[in-house]
Amino acid sequence: MSEAKSRRMGDKQNFLRKFGQCSNELQQIFTQTRDRALVRCVGTDWGYTNKPDFRFSLNKTQNRNWETYAELLFKQRGLFCNLRIDGMNRETLRNSVETIQFHASLGRLQRPGENLVSFAISESQIDDAVSLISQVFTHHLANN
């Protein structure tokens, strides 16, 4: 999940192009999810990339090898979130929200030692998505 971020969407032309191709509804789902998650994840290092995606990261430290713990990205079927849940129980997370369904393993995207989950976000799932992102950041902040 490593790529240089920018706090300005306009600096990442691939992201800007993809965002512009999305429906107004999908743009609103992204904006609401991003903004609500940023409020809940204080101290987040965030930004847009040319992957294209939007990343929530923790600042690198001597004890933290990887910095990115959440990505919001657009796929053909809508807005998705990839979360690094290293050291967390997948079933506990799944049971902590009512509307989110985790997708199959992201093995091809994982590095050794990573544990990733992915899920789609619709308008009715924004609160649960933000809750999951917040839980992941709280866990990694406390344990790294």
- Residue 131: give its domain's CATH number: 3.90.1150.20
Nearest C-alpha neighbor of 87 from the set 115, 58, 129, 57: 115
Secondary structure (DSSP) of 59-85: PPBTTBS--EEEEEEEETTEEEEEEE-
Give a yes or no: residue 116 inside a domain: yes
pLDDT mean over 27-46: 94
Could you read off the pLDDT of 126-141 as tens digits, one per residue?
A: 999 999 999 999 998 8
Could you read off the pLDDT of 108-128 as tens digits, one per residue?
A: 555 666 788 899 999 999 999
Give a yes or no: residue 3 inside a domain: no
Q: How many domains does the chain have?
A: 1
Per DSSP, the three-state class of 104 is coil
pLDDT band, very low/low/confident/very high, at 1 (cuts 50, 70, 90): very low
pLDDT mean over 88-102: 92
Full domain range(s) for residue 45: 9-143
Can you give the pTM of this predicted structure? 0.89
Per DSSP, the three-state class of 52 is coil
Give a yes or no: residue 121 inside a domain: yes
Question: Residue 105: which residues within 8 A CB-CB, separation 6 or more?
Answer: 116
pLDDT band, very low/low/confident/very high, at 103 (cuts 50, 70, 90): confident
